[in-house]
Amino acid sequence: MAMRKWIMALAAVCGIAGMMQAQEKYEYNEFYYQRSSLFELLPVGNDDIVFFGNSITNGCEWHELFGDSHIKNRGISSDVIQGLYDRCEPMMKGQPRKVFLMCGVNDISHNLTADSIATAMEKLIVHMKELSPRTEIYLQSMLPINNDFRRYKAMLGKEQVIVECNVRFKALAAKLGVTWIDLFSLFADCEGKMPRQYTNDGLHLLGPAYIVWRDAIAKYVK
């Protein structure tokens, strides 16, 4: 009897701890909250196409690039996969027609492993599909970087982690039934770097890079 009471007490404590852990919130920078609070007020409809990601997504005027007012930009600079998870619900409740997803490079800068990043991406995509089963999701690979600029110290020596993440993302896309788009191979030079004509800091993109990106995914955006 005493053992049973002890087990029940332990289960209760573990349950409370689990609830507390589930209620924990990640803390993001001010821009994340500024931008996400705006996105919560901007409607997404079932004819819309959403570009969802971090600063690399945020850096483009997608609706102008494609000449389509139904295209929405939901990128936030410095965002991580958990950040996308935490803010995707208002967007996905609008039942968008398509979502083009790219994220992970900031997770790498926080020293997460390829396995943990892939796990976070799976959690995100499963959640998005639960919120809007009708939405077509396109998982885009992470892009190459160019550390010759030596601008982002947190990314020095992390080139191979990007490659490892992309391998896992491709397998994940097949597992979850979403479309995989390999942009890494399109941009990488013979050394696996982002060419200098497409970036001026080694990570973020110049205008011509977005034209290459647009042309690569145009057949999916239709």
Task: Please report which helix (H) or strand (E) contains residue 181, including its range.
Answer: strand 179-181
How confident is the model at residue 26, as a pLDDT?
Answer: 72
**Mean pLDDT across the chain:** 91
Q: Which position has the higher pLDDT, 49 or 19?
A: 49
Question: 17-31, 59-73, 112-126, 175-189 — which is least confidently predicted?
Answer: 17-31
* Dihedral angle computed from the Cα positions of residues 46, 48, 49 and 52, in that order, rounded to the nearest 10 degrees: -90
Domain boundaries, the chain: 31-221
- For domain 31-221, give the CATH number: 3.40.50.1110
User: What sections of the chain are H helices per DSSP?
Assistant: 2-23, 30-41, 55-58, 62-66, 81-92, 105-109, 114-131, 159-176, 184-187, 207-221
How confident is the model at residue 154, as a pLDDT?
Answer: 97
How confident is the model at residue 25, as a pLDDT?
Answer: 59
